[in-house]
A and B are shown apart, each in its own frame.
Chain A
Amino acid sequence: MSKKTRVAILGTGNIGTDLLIKAMRSEHLECALFVGRNFRSDGMQKASNLGVRLSDRGIEGIIAQAADIDIVFDATSASAHLEHWPALQRLGKTVIDMTPAKVGALCVPAINSAQILTSGAKNVNMITCGGQASVPIANAIAAVQDDIDYIEVASSISSRSAGPATRANLDEYIETTEQALLQFSRAKRAKAILILNPARPPIDMQTTIYAKIRNPDLKAIRASVEEMMARIVAYVPGYQLIVPPTIEGDKVMTTVKVLGNGDYLPRYAGNLDIINCAAIGIAETIARQGRE
């Protein structure tokens, strides 16, 4: 049996801890180090129970153990990533950036994992949860309509699933999601909206994609979206189309819902799942390539 690729997870919040559980389940990855700032955090406690090697020294912890690590997931915050990246770059590690810092190549596995691999990118940016949910749909629409005037994406996530870094990074969330929408749909304008919904019981993550198209070919759009759905569901099992592309006035509206796997937070937190499944997906692709 070939050796698994060793990953380190920097950041022990909701994203980092959920990522840990997913990495431990992977056939291709193993978690060599789980790094935070505080051994008493919920994430650290969970990791400790799972028997994972821990460090509370932040980026210094990664530097100290660099020889044991192949890939680093940065699940901190956009501003922290800007500080971490130069150090990780010096170590020559491949970094999968979970924050909306948009330093590296924007990655949606359903769209561009092959290009990411051939480019040999050392910093791979996972955009945002809303971006992972919406960009593939925008891309699928763009595949059959080259005249998208405007694309808009509104995501609602449960308040409970948004940790402090997510809350502090709303502006970066918006800017990064919009950049990815423009890049992958070639729309003239894009807008992203994020709503933290405090409803109890928590609401499932939901994203609505609006596209302004002059002469929409609904049949072609639906077929293209269906095809994209199959590619997404391959790595995000809880991804569902709840309102298929529908003409509403002057726009085509599509709503998707993401049910999580219930790994760290309950199933409503599809936002954790979609970005983490995407990150694990690209990490496994990189790992497989590394062994060939």
Chain B
Amino acid sequence: MSKQILISDPTLRDGNHAVRHQITKDNFAAYCKAADAAGVPIVEVGHGNGLGASSMLVGECLLDDETILRTARENLTRSKMAIHAIPGFCTIHRHLAMALELGVDVFRIASHCTEADITQRHIDFARKNGKEVYGVLMMSHMASPETLADEARKMEAYGAEGLVIMDSAGAYLPADVTRRISTLVDSLNIPVGFHAHNNLGMGIANSVAAVEAGATIIDGSARGFGAGAGNAQLEVLVAVFQQMGYSTGIDLYKMLDAADLAEKSIIPSLPYISSTSIVSGMSGVFSGFIKQVNRVGAEHGVDPRDIFFELGRRNAVAGQESLILEVALELKAAKAGEGAQYA
């Protein structure tokens, strides 16, 4: 029997990063229908940073969480509906309880890769309510394989039924993925998953490396629609896994149709690896920063690449968007200082 790969599709969540969280209600409905028809097992929806994250800090969402969840629920019959939730942005009372009530099937509770203990109560809440729960470690390139395994074991102990690591900055090369996934597979008794970003063009290659190292959950978005350079392109993953003899349970033609629909009606400009994305991947900084870095760079006449490398030096993590302006102003001042010396 061929090995089963569980595909989780964050097109309507990570893709929201690419359009400043402006995915419309019609788009949610249309893509949910198409993914459902293709038999995509899990469809993740929401603001790019998940439940309760619509904010000035990371961007206000066109739709509120409730509208997104209701729309997705109405249009998903076979596929499970998933949310991404980061404690610190969302609370159990206000957000997880609502998600439960609106029929979310899969709760993906996420934290920065070294902060798993903030997810304990949220994982526990979703499990106690009988939901499927995954622990998600973001920005996983910032921790060693051993540290990741320690953090993953905490999430397993809290009740997570699967553990997904995210390459949030698109910083991994395949060998990095192999090391981390094998360590996790050896350390855990629950399935291990991988979520790629394509900053260095490694989205598919890294997902393949993850599966070969024992991962059984893989995230991919239609046309790669996601933050920065995008995610692993889902329809390519489905095709590649089919060629490799793995089973995803997804109907290839219908998945290709869903991706065509996404390109035609949802994605204003297809993800590509911009020069800034490359720098984001190299500096290991969350690719969701790109739009703000470009804007602040343009406003203040500072090279966005310089901003990225400086953010990387300061170990900036998602949620520290306010650092962008600070760094830009400092670089600008430093540059003005240099100019003054020669004046």
Tell me the A residues contacting B by CB distance below 8 Å. 150, 152, 154, 156, 159, 164, 167-168, 170-171, 174-175, 191, 193-200, 203, 206, 208, 210, 212, 242-243, 248, 251, 253, 255
Quick check: B320 and A198 within 8 Å, CB to CB? no
- Can you list 26 residue pairs at the A/B interface with Cβ under 8 Å? A152-B55, A154-B57, A154-B319, A159-B114, A168-B117, A168-B121, A170-B87, A171-B92, A174-B88, A174-B91, A193-B89, A194-B88, A195-B318, A195-B319, A196-B115, A197-B112, A197-B317, A197-B319, A199-B314, A199-B316, A199-B317, A203-B315, A208-B322, A253-B322, A255-B322, A255-B326
- Assess whether A175 is in contact with B115, with CB atoms less than 8 Å apart: no
CB distance from A181 to the nearest CB of B (A): 13
Q: Which B271-316 residues have a C-beta within 8 angstroms of A? A: 314-316
> In the complex, A139 Cα to B107 Cα: how many Å?
37
Most A C-beta atoms less than 10 A away, residue of B57, B121, B316, B318: B57
Instruction: Tell me the smallest distance from the CB of A100 to a CB of chain B, in Å.
Output: 12
B142 CB-CB contact with A under 8 Å: yes
* Known contacts A198-B317, A200-B315, A242-B326, A154 near B55 by CB under 8 Å: yes
The smallest beta-carbon distance between A201 and chain B, in angstroms, is: 9
Contact across chains for A164 and B57 when beta carbons are under 8 A apart: no
| Chain A binding surface SS class | strand
Q: How far is the CB of B107 from chain A (nearest CB, A)?
A: 15
B336 CB–A CB distance under 8 Å: no
Bound complex: CA of A243 vs CA of B319, how far in Å? 17
Chain B residues within 8 Å of A206, by CB: 322
Instruction: Give chain A residues whose Cβ lies under 8 Å from the Cβ of B87.
Output: 170-171
| Cα separation A175 to B52 with both chains bound (whole Å) | 13
Closest chain A CB from B300 CB (angstroms): 12
> Which residue of chain A is the closest to B53 with respect to CB atoms?
A193
How long is the Cα–Cα vector from A174 to B96 in the complex, in angstroms? 14
CB distance from B22 to the nearest CB of A (A): 15
Tell me the complex Cα distance, A192–B330, Å. 27
Q: Report if B264 contacts A (CB, 8 A).
A: no
Give the one of B91, B121, B142, B314 with max A CB within 10 A.
Answer: B91
Query: How far is B318's CA from A152's CA once the two chains are assembled, in angstroms?
Result: 17
Docked CA distance A251–B325 (Å):
15
Bound complex: CA A221 to CA B333 (Å): 25
B314 near A171: Cβ-Cβ < 8 Å = no
Using known A-B contacts A197-B317, A255-B326, determine if residue A152 contacts B56 with beta carbons closer than 8 Å. yes
Decide if A154 touches B93 in the complex (CB within 8 Å).
Answer: no
CB distance from B30 to the nearest CB of A (A): 30
| Contact status A171-B121, CB under 8 Å | yes
User: Which A residues are CB-close (under 8 A) to B91?
Assistant: 170-171, 174-175
**Interface 0/1 of B114-128, CB less than 8 Å to A:** 110110110000000
A243 to B330, CA, bound (A): 12
Q: Is the CB of A152 within 8 A of B112?
A: no
When the two chains form their complex, are residues B118 and A210 in contact, meaning their CB atoms are under 8 A apart? no
- Please give the distance in Å from B311's CB to the nearest CB on chain A: 11
Residues of chain B lying within 8 A (CB to CB) of residue A212? 56
Taking a contact as CB atoms under 8 Å apart, the answer to whether B120 and A193 are in contact is: no
Query: Which partner residue on chain A sits nearest B317 by CB separation?
Result: A197
Q: A171-B121, A198-B115, A255-B322 are in contact. Are A152 and B57 (CB under 8 A)?
A: yes
Give the nearest-CB partner of B91 in chain A.
A171
| A198 to B320 Cα, complex, angstroms | 12
Q: A159-B115, A197-B315 are in contact. List 15 more A-B contacts (CB 8 A).
A: A152-B57, A170-B91, A171-B87, A174-B88, A194-B88, A195-B320, A197-B112, A197-B319, A206-B322, A208-B57, A208-B322, A243-B322, A243-B325, A253-B56, A255-B322
Could you say which of B56, B88, B118 has the most chain A C-beta atoms within 10 Å of its C-beta?
B56
Q: Is the CB of B112 within 8 A of A198?
A: yes
Whole-angstrom distance between the Cβ of B91 and the nearest chain A Cβ: 4
Shortest distance between the CB of A158 and any CB in chain B (Å): 11
B117 / chain A contacts, CB cutoff of 8 Å = 164, 167-168
Q: Shortest Cβ distance from A272 into chain B, in angstroms?
A: 18
A198 touches B114 (CB 8 A): yes
Q: With both chains docked as a complex, state the minimum distance between the C-beta of B289 and any C-beta of chain A, in angstroms.
A: 14
A167 to B158, CA, bound (A): 14
Chain A residues with CB under 8 Å of B56's CB are 150, 152, 210, 212, 251, 253
